[in-house]
Copies of this chain bind each other. A is one copy, B any other.
Amino acid sequence: MNTVHVAVLGGSGYTAVELMKILLRHPQARIVAVTSRERQPVSDYHPSLYGRIDLQCEPFDPDLLQKQGVQVAFGCLPHGTSIEAVGPLIARGIRVVDLSADYRLRDPALYAEWYGETHHDKHNLSHAVYGLPELYADHIRTARLIANPGCYPQTAILGLAPLLQKGLIEPTGIIVDSKSGVSGAGRSLKLTTHYPECNENFSAYSVGKHRHAPEMEQILADAAGGPVQVLFTPHLVPMDRGIFSTIYATPTRPVAETELLAVLRQFYAGKPFVRVRDGLPATKDTAHTNFLDLTVRVVRGKVVVLAAEDNLVRGASGVAVQNFNIMHGFPETTALL
């Protein structure tokens, strides 16, 4: 069987360890390199991998990765750092699935506005493919650079795209009220994620200022065929993992739940990782899986979409492997069920 040699860039964080666990179960992937600023065994960063992976983290070196035969690199680096690694890899013929936000916004001006820095790799940006398989599988297949989608945006996009595409909801006045487990904030130490601060606590953050809002709007505009406007409010939930989004939209005409559910079901038929359910979703039903669960209600004249996913798997490392599978013609579900 064909085995693809892969590297994990930025091996010390939560998306990296989740990714490595999935890849270790993948019969056609072999992790041949893990990078990090510190030279130390991968299992020192992640004791859960003790005895399961025998690699030493090495500082990023594209020549070395090429010499090691890396065919695909998964970037688990922070935005701004990732952009430095992608160019050299693409130049060496290594395909990249970039889990950072550096190649998600197509318009460099939007990147500059929301990320506070000029985008200095416009060349690769121009051919990057937004890695949401349910919408862009055809482009993913042949992509050299995948911009792996953000965790929050996936819930909003997969919940709304079918309804916008059919013209069933207005493209303005959309509210995405999202709630995320704490692992979404990463492994860097911050007071807000210090246990006694966020445990037994619920709070909002970055109200109206979160960088995932323009990402949602960009992709939903594809579906709507015109501009979409989203008010996005993220919140922090005292749990490890999971995102739940409660999404409010205005129907363009009186519409029944059954019709909306049917539209969603039709759209996701044959797509193995989106489950349209009659009942209300819950993050725990999706925990440690690549499933995104959806349902829809009509209340007081509004359409209410409810979506749940695991932020580390579906929201990051699982969908990255789903993209990897599509890129190589492997069954889409390999290592993900």
Contacts and interface: CB of A to CB of B under 8 A. Distances in A.
Contact of A195 (B198, B202, B208, B231): B198
B25 A337 contact: yes
A202 B289 CA distance: 16
Interface stretch (A63-71, A122-130, A174-182): A174-182
A39 B324 CA distance: 40
A229 B299 CA distance: 11
Nearest to A203: B282
Contacts of A207: 280, 297, 299, 304, 306
B203 A280 contact: yes
A202 B191 CA distance: 21
A300 B244 contact: no
Q: Is the interface of A mostly helix, strand, loop or mixed?
A: mixed
Interface in A207-246: 207-208, 229-231, 233, 235, 237-242, 244, 246
A251 interface: no
A301 to B, nearest CB: 8
Size class of the A contact interface (CB-based, 8 Å): 35 or more
A202 B52 contact: no
A96 to B, nearest CB: 26
A299 B231 contact: yes
A238 B288 CA distance: 18
Contact of A231 (B201, B235, B282, B300): B300
Interface string A5-26: 0000000001000000000110
Interface of A: 14, 24-25, 47-48, 50-52, 175, 177, 179, 181-183, 187, 189-191, 193-205, 207-208, 229-231, 233, 235, 237-242, 244, 246, 248, 275, 277, 279-289, 291, 293, 297, 299-300, 302, 304, 306, 308, 337
28 contacts: A47-B285, A51-B275, A175-B248, A175-B302, A179-B179, A181-B200, A181-B202, A182-B199, A187-B191, A193-B195, A194-B195, A195-B240, A197-B284, A199-B240, A200-B283, A200-B287, A203-B280, A203-B308, A207-B280, A207-B297, A207-B299, A207-B306, A208-B297, A208-B304, A235-B244, A235-B246, A237-B237, A248-B248
